[in-house]
Structure 1
């Protein structure tokens, strides 16, 4: 790992405020499907990167918190979307973390394998459309003709389209941060 773990006792006031917001917020008080901190208290995954630069780390973690806990996305659609980004960006940490969350919200092992290998298919129209939208965005195909856009609106609605588009960008950013700093999934 290219960034050192920052222990709670070593944080400056800005870092400590961000740390407290992360561990004291919904990520830290809700069900723990993956470790948010190491045994000695350092933040894991993207949060361990964010803490090094709280001026950007704070808005990043707030956006991530909003995407996870304050959108209208169903739990399944949210996790399908996150894992689609993880697969496309080869983000081992996000795949590790969100496969655990996905199982907790009802995705099967077969569905997780299909997301990872790009063959996901759902009989639920909104899940399938959300998956296809995320894949399209990840493939750089961001232009929609009027009929394609109208079809998206009918199935997902504009609020969900916005939420999914922002989610793809956010998790792509996390994947880039994790790659640059060589943050891997826990062993």
Structure 2
């Protein structure tokens, strides 16, 4: 699938992107390949993006924990778009290239981050977090953070599946930042 051609961008497309992007980015160039492809189905995009906005901006996970989890999802899903995009977001959070590479590979020096990576792997392989991992994570994350972790993994696995299926190419020219 290719991004929606510029001559087909209309008010429905603009409305679908309004929850995530400022007006200046709601165009084929500013939206990037993923969103410009998703808006081929404005109603689906409009329904999905508020959920994604929560995962990015409203989650109770720390931004670093969020990115560690998403990077591991991206690697497990073999999603070039998500690897590229969230490596950039990790760098914006001051993660080093080594830390990003480690997260992609399921390794972290920090005990809480290592548990998050284990939980991502378990969710990926069996669609559940084991009691042992859940209990260990509970020492580092509260109930809402645990819930946000599960939904972050699920949400980004869904995006990775869509992006891989649609053949969405990474946006190397776009900065991995969002404004609300």
Distance 1:113 1:54, change over 3 A: same
1:137-175 CA-partner distances (Å, limit 9, x unpaired)? 112251533x54333322212111110110111111111
Task: State the match for 1:101 in structure 2.
Answer: 89
Distance 1:141 1:172, change over 3 A: closer
| TM-score normalised by L of structure 1 | 0.80
Long gaps (5+) in structure 2: 173-180
Long gaps (5+) in structure 1: 29-35
- Supply the RMSD in Å over aligned alpha carbons: 2.3
Q: What is the count of residue pairs matched by the alignment?
A: 172
1:108-165 CA-partner distances (Å, limit 9, x unpaired)? 11111122233x1223x322222221121112251533x5433332221211111011
Map 1:1-187 → 2, pairs under 5 A: 2-7=1-6, 10-24=8-22, 41=29, 43-118=31-106, 120-123=107-110, 125-140=111-126, 142=128, 144-145=130-131, 147-186=132-171
Distance 1:183 1:148, change over 3 A: closer
What is the distance in 2 between the residues matched to 1:45 and 1:165?
A: 26
